[in-house]
């Protein structure tokens, strides 16, 4: 994560320094171990911080002080004290429970929310797995967490747990639909599912954030946030563990470390969904202040190309990670704030909110976001208010793409036919004016997106990237 996996692997494979020579050939393994260790630390520290935050914020909202004793001024070691207390507790398994499932359920929750961090970018190129379908993988992994909860509810052998598990299953199956739809809305604007690229496109002033890309993405951000809150089973949607009705819901029978694994998973997935919100809507690791972003970008670019100092690029990425973490933490803070402000809904109200309101709203937003560039093009002649988002792709990404496309072109007799966009009949055949022709191209693609989301997103992405590659060729 701190460097791209590939560069660590290459460094270790090629090093001659004596303590490392015996590792030659195992570079990818070492890189994987380093990444896993870094991610485990983030995964461990974020619940640590957020549990303290939760207690402190809820105390303040209820006009209390919250924890003040452990660890100095603000009681910031309270989570550690909690953890030590939980380790000491006895690990109980009720006689009515199916013990194998009962014991393994917390690990499913914990592992799946941990694995989601694998594809979450913390700064430019600081991501463990830079997959092209990163957002898709992330949503897929987050949807596994529900299974641990259902297992826990079912195998506890208690009616309260069973009710909690049932509610969680029904709620998660319904809320996954608007979650995926809302996450796709900025993807339509970006034309990529790669979270790293989506973050990189939002460089510059605040208006470049996808939240302010068009009115539909603006509303989609709030809908996404509500749905994400529900998918982390946070109040007011925490019906699976509603204390007033179900004692403790699915974790009624759990104690000690297994109980705390559920909560580590919950707080980590809160951070994960808020991190996705930050990347998709709130500019990711970009500050939203144009000159600062451009400065950091130039540091990164010069260090990547080997001209500037390595330290400057590293510092820029550290700053980016700090910006990203503070945006995501603010999201978590708002979720905590909501918990102590709104009363809990009833289970039928939760389902009604999703199926009758959130799903139609997100479908409408999805359609609107696909029609928006077309409408804008008819009115003003361009598909976006500002420059096309593809132009803001960072140069390193474009270079990578260009290399890949070059190898494509090499395999083909006529390079002109190699551009994927030339297969589209609507596209004007004008390589000389690649930049102006960019807007009509994406307009030609996007009306189709209403029907087949994933497919045309890919097409749009290849359009954008092909446009970017053309510019590279021109230069």
Partner 1 sequence: MSGHSLLFTFFALATCLSAVAVVISQTVVRMAFWLIISLGSTAALFFLADADFVGAAQLLIYVGGTLVLLVFGVMLTASGPYLKIETSPGETIIAGMIGLLFLFIVYASISGVDWKSTPGDAVATDSPLDNRSGADGQTLRPVGLSLLGLRPDKDLSGGGDGDQPSTGYLLPFEIVSVHLLVVLIGAAYLARAKRTQQASAS
Please count the other Cβ atoms lying within 10 Å of the Cβ belonging to residue 98: 14
Tokens representing residue 146 in the block: 């529900």
The yes or no reply on residue 147 touching partner 1 (CB under 8 A) is yes
Smallest distance, Å, CB 64 to partner 1? 39
> Is the distance from CB of 310 to CB of 3 less than 8 angstroms?
no
Distances (CA, A) of 275 to 121, 280, 284: 9, 9, 8
Segment holding 89, helix H or strand E: none
Separation of alpha carbons 386 and 294, rounded Å: 16
The yes or no reply on residue 399 touching partner 1 (CB under 8 A) is no
Tokens representing residue 102 in the block: 């009962």
Binding mask of the shown chain, residues 15 to 44, with x at each position contacting partner 1 by CB under 8 A: -----------x-xx---------------
Decide whether 162 or 336 has the Cβ nearer to partner 1: 162
398-422 CB burial, b ≥16 within 10 A, e <16: beebbeebeeebeeeeeeeebbebe
Smallest distance, Å, CB 14 to partner 1? 18
Decide whether 211 or 273 has the Cβ nearer to partner 1: 273
Smallest distance, Å, CB 183 to partner 1? 12
117-129 CB burial, b ≥16 within 10 A, e <16: bbbbbbbbbbbbe
Smallest distance, Å, CB 44 to partner 1? 23
Please count the other Cβ atoms lying within 10 Å of the Cβ belonging to residue 452: 11
Q: Which of 420, 437, 450, 471 binds partner 1 (CB under 8 A)?
A: 420
| Of 379, 396, 375, nearest in space to 196 by CA | 396
Decide whether 134 or 320 has the Cβ nearer to partner 1: 134
The yes or no reply on residue 473 touching partner 1 (CB under 8 A) is no
Longest CA pairwise span in the chain (Å): 75
If you search the block for the tokens 């191209």, which residue do you land on? 441
Establish whether the linkage from the previous residue to 236 is cis, with ω within 30° of 0.
yes
Decide whether 27 or 284 has the Cβ nearer to partner 1: 27
Burial grade of 2 (CB within 10 A; 0-12, 13-18, 19 or more)? middle
**Judged by CB under 8 A, which stretch of 54-62, 76-84, 136-144, 291-299 contacts partner 1?**
136-144
DSSP character string of 129-154: ---TTHHHHHHHHHTTHHHHHHHHHH
Separation of alpha carbons 74 and 68, rounded Å: 5
Binding mask of the shown chain, residues 155 to 184, with x at each position contacting partner 1 by CB under 8 A: x-x----x--xx--xx-xx--x--------
- Helix, strand, or coil here: 7? helix
Q: Which of 136, 225, 263, 372 binds partner 1 (CB under 8 A)?
A: 136
The yes or no reply on residue 462 touching partner 1 (CB under 8 A) is yes
The yes or no reply on residue 98 touching partner 1 (CB under 8 A) is yes
**Judged by CB under 8 A, which stretch of 66-74, 218-226, 238-246, 409-417 contacts partner 1?**
409-417
Q: Which of 459, 464, 468, 469 binds partner 1 (CB under 8 A)?
A: 459
Decide whether 252 or 462 has the Cβ nearer to partner 1: 462
Q: Backbone dihedral region of 405: left (phi > 0), alpha (psi from -120 to 50 degrees) or beta?
A: alpha
Decide whether 146 or 361 has the Cβ nearer to partner 1: 146
In degrees rounded to 5, what are phi and psi of residue 126? Answer: -90, 75
If you search the block for the tokens 């420059």, which residue do you land on? 387
The yes or no reply on residue 139 touching partner 1 (CB under 8 A) is yes
Decide whether 130 or 242 has the Cβ nearer to partner 1: 130
User: What part of residues 439-458 is at the interface with partner 1 (CB under 8 A)?
Assistant: 448, 451-452, 454-458
Smallest distance, Å, CB 410 to partner 1? 9
The yes or no reply on residue 351 touching partner 1 (CB under 8 A) is no
Smallest distance, Å, CB 105 to partner 1? 9
The yes or no reply on residue 393 touching partner 1 (CB under 8 A) is no
If you search the block for the tokens 């474009």, which residue do you land on? 398
Residues that bind partner 1 (CB under 8 A): 26, 28-29, 96, 98, 100-101, 104, 108, 131-133, 136-137, 139-141, 143-144, 146-147, 150-151, 154-155, 157, 162, 165-166, 169-170, 172-173, 176, 193, 404, 407-408, 411-413, 417-418, 420, 423, 448, 451-452, 454-459, 461-462
């Amino acid at each position: 994560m701190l460097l791209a996996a590939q560069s660590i692997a290459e460094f270790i494979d090629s090093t001659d320094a004596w303590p490392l020579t015996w590792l030659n050939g195992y570079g990818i393994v070492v890189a994987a171990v380093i990444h896993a260790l870094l991610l485990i630390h983030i995964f461990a520290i974020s619940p640590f911080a957020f549990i303290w935050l939760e207690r402190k914020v809820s105390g303040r909202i209820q006009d209390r002080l919250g924890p003040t004793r452990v660890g100095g001024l603000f009681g910031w070691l309270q989570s550690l004290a909690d953890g030590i207390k939980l380790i000491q507790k006895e690990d109980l398994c009720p006689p009515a429970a199916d013990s194998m499932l009962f014991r393994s359920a917390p690990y499913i929750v914990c592992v799946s929310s941990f694995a989601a961090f694998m594809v979450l970018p913390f700064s430019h190129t600081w991501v463990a797995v830079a997959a092209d379908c990163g957002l898709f993988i992330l949503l897929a992994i987050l949807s596994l967490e529900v299974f641990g909860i259902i297992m826990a509810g079912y195998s506890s052998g208690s009616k309260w747990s069973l009710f909690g598990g049932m509610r969680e299953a029904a709620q998660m199956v319904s809320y996954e639909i608007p979650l995926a739809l809302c996450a796709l809305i900025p993807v339509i604007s970006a034309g990529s599912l790669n979270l790293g690229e989506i973050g990189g496109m939002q460089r510059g002033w605040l208006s470049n954030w996808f939240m302010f890309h068009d009115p539909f993405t603006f509303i989609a951000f709030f809908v996404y946030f509500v749905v994400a809150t529900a998918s982390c089973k946070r109040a007011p949607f925490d019906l699976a563990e509603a204390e007033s009705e179900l004692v403790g819901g699915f974790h009624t029978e759990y104690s000690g470390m297994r109980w705390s694994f559920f909560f580590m998973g919950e707080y980590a997935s809160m951070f994960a969904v808020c991190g996705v919100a930050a990347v998709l809507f709130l500019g990711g690791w970009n500050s939203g202040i144009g000159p600062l972003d451009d400065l950091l970008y130039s540091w990164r670019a010069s260090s990547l190309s080997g001209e500037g100092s390595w330290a400057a690029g590293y510092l820029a990425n550290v700053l980016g990670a700090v910006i990203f973490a503070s945006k995501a933490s603010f999201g978590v803070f708002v979720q905590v704030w909501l918990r102590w402000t709104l009363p809990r809904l009833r289970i039928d109200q939760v389902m009604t909110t999703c199926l009758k309101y959130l799903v139609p709203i997100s479908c409408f937003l999805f359609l609107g976001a696909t029609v928006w560039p077309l409408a804008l093009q008819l009115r003003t002649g361009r598909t976006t208010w500002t420059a096309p988002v593809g132009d803001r792709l960072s140069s390193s990404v474009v270079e990578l793409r260009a290399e890949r496309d070059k190898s494509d072109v090499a395999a083909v007799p006529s390079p002109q036919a190699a551009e994927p966009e030339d297969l589209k009949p609507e596209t004007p055949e004008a390589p000389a004016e690649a930049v102006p022709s960019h807007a009509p191209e994406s307009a030609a693609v996007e009306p189709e997106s209403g029907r087949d989301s994933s497919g045309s997103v890919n097409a749009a992405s290849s359009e954008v990237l092909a446009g970017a590659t053309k510019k590279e060729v021109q230069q």
